[in-house]
Amino acid sequence: MTQTADTTSPAVSFTGVVKSFGAVRAVDGAHLAVPRGETVALLGRNGAGKSTAIGLLLGLDVPDAGTVRVFGGPPARAVTDGRVGAMLQDGRPIRRVTVRELVTFVASTFPRPLPVAEALELAGLTAHANRRVDKLSGGQTQRVRFAVALAGRPELLVLDEPTAALDVEARRAFWGSMRAYAERGNTVLFSTHYLEEADQHAGRIVVIDHGRIVADGTGERIKSSAGGHLVSFDLPDDAEAEPRAADLGRLPGVVSVESAGTRGGRARLRTDDSDATVMALARLGAIRRLEVVPATLEDAFLALTRPRTPTGPRTEPRNEPRSRTWSRSWSRAKETV
């Protein structure tokens, strides 16, 4: 009996997925659905759970709880059927084979492979096709991993730090190839430490922190949810004239206190209503070198993954003494905002 292909299920589905290694819960109750044709960036600090999530997605690990599905079925089946291609960081070059020989061999293991010449061209390896893989530079070896990931003509392309070891020109060429492959209707999921790449090349960004998904949406949505603007200003030179971080966190519009600085330093406030925040600061007086800039994805990422204090907003630790002078100023200001 011929099995009917599933054309309606998401490309990727995580439902209540948990994966632990000893006492460490690497993935903690993850729920995620990636429709077909999307390009999704996976962001997180080292140890946040990105690599574990990718391992579960590829069937290299099995969840302790919950389910992982790829095109509606088990990940291992989708990989075996050639529907998933992966470019991972691990692995050493195979000795004494050429680039063309390696890609040809990998392509031969799949039911409907991409033509080898096309895979080499997309990966920028046509000129290096007859060179031995173990004689290539780090950046060229990374391109070989990309060509191998493309060899099976995958519908889902999983890329783990794909532009590591690539120079600026090679990174630009890589993303051009990735976009061209995605425009064919394929799904792409990639992890990266280059936040500007996620912002530029992903239609959707998923942020993982301590095994949990803490943000999921477009780059603009994530930047807005973490505070749309960053307000910074110089602090007084006198330690007794500094505001407390907790007081700054209670100003109108302030989402988090990025830094309360040290005397003579800078305070940085994340706000979703910069006009209200600036007006409140103006009432305090002695606000010097005030600057308001739109939030970047890096700003939002740091705000989302910075540890929280037990009783207040995300902030840096502070040990300097506080003054009654600023306390009186803040009391007057808070009465008017």
Residue 320 has pLDDT above 60, yes or no: no
- Please give the Cα distance from 300 to 258 (Å, whole number): 10
Same domain for 204 and 57: yes
What are the residue ranges of helices labelled H in the chain?
50-57, 75-80, 99-108, 116-122, 138-150, 168-182, 195-201, 219-225, 245-249, 274-284, 297-305, 324-336
List Cα–Cα distances, 1 to 4, 9, 72, 80, 183, in angstroms: 9, 21, 19, 20, 34
Percentage of the chain beyond pLDDT 70 is 83
In this predicted model, what pLDDT tens digit does every residue of 124-178 receive, in sequence order? 999 999 999 999 998 899 999 999 999 999 999 999 999 988 888 889 989 999 9
In this predicted model, what pLDDT tens digit does every residue of 189-241 receive, in sequence order? 999 988 999 999 999 999 999 999 999 999 988 887 766 788 998 877 665 55
Same domain for 231 and 305: yes
Same domain for 295 and 249: yes
Same domain for 297 and 193: no
Same domain for 42 and 140: yes
Contact in structure between 119 and 151 (CB atoms under 8 Å): yes
Type of residue at 173 = A
Where among 217, 247, 274 does a domain terminate?
Answer: 217
Task: For the chain, report the end-to-end CA distance as a whole number of angstroms.
Answer: 72
Count the domains in the chain.
Answer: 2
Tokens describing residue 106:
């990998």
Where among 165, 187, 217 does a domain terminate?
Answer: 217
Contact in structure between 303 and 256 (CB atoms under 8 Å): yes
In this predicted model, what pLDDT tens digit does every residue of 20-50 receive, in sequence order? 999 999 999 999 999 999 999 999 999 999 9
Q: Is the dihedral of CA 270, 271, 274, 277 positive or negative?
A: negative
Same domain for 162 and 57: yes
Same domain for 254 and 159: no
Can you give the residue range of the structural domain that contains 129?
12-217
